[in-house]
Structure 1
Amino acid sequence: MSTSPRDLLRQMFDAAVAAAQPSHAIPHHLPKPPKGRMVVIGAGKASAAMARVVEDNWPGPLSGLVVTRYGYGVPCQRIEIVEAAHPVPDAAGLAAAQRIYDLAAGLTADDLVLCLISGGGSALLALPHPDLTLEDKQAVNKALLASGATITEMNCVRRHLSAIKGGRLAAACHPAKVVTLLISDVPGDNPSDIASGPTVGDATSCADALAIIRRYGIEVPPKVLAVLESGRGETIKPEDPRLAGIDTRIIAAPQLALEAAAAIAEKAGIKTHILGDSLEGEARDVGKAMAGIALQVARRGQPFETPCILLSGGETTVTVRGKGRGGRNVEFLLSLGIALDGQPGVYALAADTDGVDGMEDIAGALFAPDTLARAWAKGIKPKDALADNDGHGFFEALGDQLITGPTLTNVNDFRAILIEKIPT
């Protein structure tokens, strides 16, 4: 292999991100111009980039507004771009969500609403149920993020505490035609889970959301419990006539990104195995399990011969118990490395394709056979860092962080483990 393991892994990650760029996916999914108005709305880390592509490829007049994460804005001429906080919502997100909801009002059957949705939209569309406040939503979001709940479970709760998610935005657009273009960041690519499904009917219930809160022992404001227990937070169901004829299209997803990364490895002459695009579970548990597979490959040539690369996507979770700087990808990577215990010839990269792992503008990190030894030489104890949920602090001290800046897309986590052939 002429390319170094670190460089190859980074090239694969870059290819995964490039494959999910809106410029590749949106143009051939644009609908025909309507008789009436064309209104563009949307939310997510990729929504501004999506809006720019729509502007560049739309033949007629249009207007609209999308909300994206701070730092993820892209200049547009006719579509207004608003930036707001993620993953905990703020007042800017609240105001933008209300304006987006208002844009949906008063449309006719001749009008077309193009809704651009990507990961991060749940926090960015921060329009709470009428009985709740932004502070209530912030408290719930923080508690969910620290609970260990899956993204599907978190979004179930969020939908039932919202005035715009769970199909409510689509219902507000009625009788206009609605076309939703989705960049998926959720395991299984379920449209109702992407940004909590603002234009998709929801089959879950308030009782389901309440069960999730109780299952994880999440402390929420009394008003939140009241909304769920009373059923006042019920979402729009798939059979609702206001949702009839809505056109929902997934234009980019984790599997596509993994296949693009695999193509880079194959060109380098290394066999690549995609283990799944929707792996979930505690990040440290998934890391330990993946290390077990990597060790069997390295030592026994089973189930794959070396050299090879193991690829996976999805979204793991972190139950926060320590006081470190978190990040599910760096937690996975640190757990993987501890379990590998310096195994020669095994390298890994884990990062979020949106460039943000946890609460920080750091995509993830890289791991090498000498990572643990370098940490010990600096007086850093890897197991202590893992116990304190301090993956970012660990990899920062070693200079092994992966920092991309805003990638303007989001197809969830990317994990690659390179296992070299060790001469006997």
Structure 2
Amino acid sequence: MSQPITLDALQRDPAAPRTLLRQLFDVAVNTALPYDSLKNYLPQPPKGRTVVIGAGKGAASMAAALEAAWPGELSGMVITRYAHTEPTRAIRVVEASHPVPDAAGREAAEQVLASVQGLTEDDLVICLISGGGSALLSLPVPEIPLDDKRAVNKALLKSGAAIDEMNCVRKHLSAIKGGRLAAACYPAKVVTLAISDVPGDDPSVIASGPTVADPTTFDDARAVIAKYGIELPASVKAYLDNATSAQETPKPGDPRLAHCETHIITTPQASLQAAAKFARDIGLNTIVLGDTIEGEARDVALVHAGIVRQVVGFDEPVQKPALILSGGETTVTVRGNGRGGRNAEFLLALAVALNGEKGVYAVACDTDGIDGSEDNAGCLLSPCSIARAAKVGVSAKQKLANNDAYSFFESIDDLIVTGPTRTNVNDFRAILVLPQ
């Protein structure tokens, strides 16, 4: 990371605000990496075997961190997204598709399930879970073909459903999620180490909680389908229509989960706090709106724009020079045919709402380095962004109407491309408001 920007530089150097915002994002990502935090949650080595399993965008980095800290022998495998691997010695890393599952993910999930068969009370399973694990650890129930599960996943991603709603449905179409993987490990002890990417840090929602008791039901899954009007493939509809209580996911109090414990090793709030400290140390008056902000990206942007105007006009709820931080997971109901993830959509909606407000700069990125399914982590916004785009014939309002935020920011070279970060604590948003 470059040297921290000074408060004086923010006033006199036109490039300094953008540099600072990128530094803040880097601070958030580095805080979410597992190398320092994971070692603080390790269990005692068992009498028997130590088997490592897991899935998520951070699975490979978590596996490497575990190998560096573990005092004894271990073996196993984890699943991560394509191009998110990292060198490991004893733990095999398998790549699969995200956000829509593929055959590689299904085969890997079958191998994970097979690897925990026949364990004893003397054995230990360490499960490494991070965001993205729901798609990567994809093993539909036998009644549902993978292509039909893929179709449901695509529909959920476009529907605007919140992450807990999507994962409720995913659990109830899965042979491995919603505590089923933990049940398969019984009677071995299961210690889950998780990087949270969900609002509220609920372990049963992170990667659809494969080793955590599931409080949701088939009725809840059916309600989500009805709420968003999702058209189901025939196999999925038949399965949900005919599912019985005997097919339910393991619930709290299930004896097969009695030897399970879960530790969240890092969270969205930890990254926001680290960024806030970085900003305060250089003299910015900083406010954290929260790490659980959800809703349509463009609606969340309107609320943030209202707060920005209050700061600009009245120095409330924080005095200029100010930094406004927030996290969580917004959603996008796709109506157009453009490109762009939820962070780009948030930032473009913010740009339209602020309409070139002087002294206001912003960044919005996904901490995993991938905004939706694009190649960028997110984007940067300056007071002149709309005007710069207009000069090359690009209309911010038209791009927003078409869900085409990626193309807008690409036209002014304001995409942030980091490549895979190998962690994931969800969205990071920072808005800088300078005196004029």
Report the alpha carbon displacement of residue 278 of structure 1 after superposing the two structures with TM: 0.7
3-state SS of 1:210 partner: helix
Identity among equivalent positions (%) equals 60
Q: Distance in 2 between matches of 1:128 and 1:326?
A: 29
Q: Distance in 2 between matches of 1:143 and 1:58?
A: 41
Of 321, 337, 343, which residue of structure 2 is paired with 1:307?
A: 321
- Residues 286 and 318, structure 2, Cα contact 8 Å, conserved in 1: no
Report the alpha carbon displacement of residue 361 of structure 1 after superposing the two structures with TM: 2.1
Counterpart residue number, 1:11: 23
Counterpart residue number, 1:335: 349
Counterpart residue number, 1:54: 66
- Residues 187 and 259, structure 2, Cα contact 8 Å, conserved in 1: no
Report the alpha carbon displacement of residue 409 of structure 1 after superposing the two structures with TM: 0.4
- Residues 349 and 417, structure 1, Cα contact 8 Å, conserved in 2: yes
The aligned amino acid for 2:409 is F
TM-score by length of 1: 0.98
2:259 paired with 1:245 = yes
Q: Distance in 2 between matches of 1:297 and 1:245?
A: 51
3-state SS of 2:200 partner: helix
Report the alpha carbon displacement of residue 368 of structure 1 after superposing the two structures with TM: 0.4
Counterpart residue number, 1:182: 194
Aligned residues: 422
The aligned amino acid for 2:279 is A
3-state SS of 2:150 partner: helix
- Residues 110 and 176, structure 1, Cα contact 8 Å, conserved in 2: yes
Q: Distance in 1 between matches of 2:181 and 2:259?
A: 15
3-state SS of 1:276 partner: coil
3-state SS of 1:315 partner: strand
Q: Distance in 1 between matches of 2:317 and 2:280?
A: 18
Report the alpha carbon displacement of residue 267 of structure 1 after superposing the two structures with TM: 1.6
Counterpart residue number, 1:397: 411
Counterpart residue number, 2:144: 132
Report the alpha carbon displacement of residue 360 of structure 1 after superposing the two structures with TM: 1.1
3-state SS of 1:316 partner: strand
The aligned amino acid for 1:31 is P
Report the alpha carbon displacement of residue 328 of structure 1 after superposing the two structures with TM: 0.1
Q: Distance in 2 between matches of 1:152 and 1:89?
A: 18
Q: Distance in 1 between matches of 2:291 and 2:62?
A: 23
2:163 paired with 1:151 = yes
Of 328, 347, 368, which residue of structure 1 is paired with 2:361?
A: 347
Of 105, 112, 116, which residue of structure 1 is paired with 2:128?
A: 116
Counterpart residue number, 1:40: 52
Residue segments in structure 2 that go unaligned for 5+ positions in a row: 1-6, 11-15
Of 310, 313, 319, which residue of structure 1 is paired with 2:333?
A: 319
- Relative to structure 2, which stretch is displaced further, 311-320 or 286-295? 286-295
The aligned amino acid for 2:422 is L
The aligned amino acid for 1:58 is W
Alignment of 1:258-273 (within 5 A): 258-273=272-287
Residues 305-331 of structure 1 deviation map (CA, whole Å, 9 limit, x = unaligned): 111111000000000000001200000
Residues 303-358 of structure 1 deviation map (CA, whole Å, 9 limit, x = unaligned): 22111111000000000000001200000000011000111000000000000001
Of 204, 210, 214, which residue of structure 2 is paired with 1:198?
A: 210
- Residues 285 and 318, structure 2, Cα contact 8 Å, conserved in 1: no
The aligned amino acid for 2:356 is G
The aligned amino acid for 2:95 is E
Q: Distance in 1 between matches of 2:385 and 2:23?
A: 20
Report the alpha carbon displacement of residue 239 of structure 1 after superposing the two structures with TM: 1.3
3-state SS of 1:19 partner: helix
Of 382, 393, 411, which residue of structure 2 is paired with 1:368?
A: 382
Residues 133-178 of structure 1 deviation map (CA, whole Å, 9 limit, x = unaligned): 1111100110000000001100000000000000000000000000
Q: Distance in 2 between matches of 1:361 and 1:179?
A: 33
Of 180, 183, 189, which residue of structure 2 is paired with 1:171?
A: 183
Q: Distance in 1 between matches of 2:240 and 2:325?
A: 39
Counterpart residue number, 1:421: 435
Report the alpha carbon displacement of residue 386 of structure 1 after superposing the two structures with TM: 0.4
The aligned amino acid for 2:97 is A
Counterpart residue number, 2:297: 283
Q: Distance in 2 between matches of 1:280 and 1:235?
A: 26
Report the alpha carbon displacement of residue 245 of structure 1 after superposing the two structures with TM: 2.9
3-state SS of 1:26 partner: helix
Report the alpha carbon displacement of residue 229 of structure 1 after superposing the two structures with TM: 2.1
Q: Distance in 2 between matches of 1:397 and 1:337?
A: 15
- Residues 118 and 194, structure 1, Cα contact 8 Å, conserved in 2: yes
- Residues 206 and 229, structure 1, Cα contact 8 Å, conserved in 2: no
Counterpart residue number, 2:13: none
Q: Distance in 2 between matches of 1:104 and 1:214?
A: 36
Residue segments in structure 1 that go unaligned for 5+ positions in a row: none
- Relative to structure 2, which stretch is displaced further, 261-270 or 332-341? 261-270
The aligned amino acid for 1:274 is V
- Residues 207 and 229, structure 1, Cα contact 8 Å, conserved in 2: no
The aligned amino acid for 2:306 is G
Residues 98-151 of structure 1 deviation map (CA, whole Å, 9 limit, x = unaligned): 000111110000000000000000000010011111111100110000000001
Counterpart residue number, 2:402: 388
Q: Distance in 1 between matches of 2:285 and 2:121?
A: 52
The aligned amino acid for 1:374 is R
3-state SS of 1:326 partner: coil
Counterpart residue number, 2:288: 274
Q: Distance in 1 between matches of 2:296 and 2:103?
A: 31
The aligned amino acid for 2:405 is G
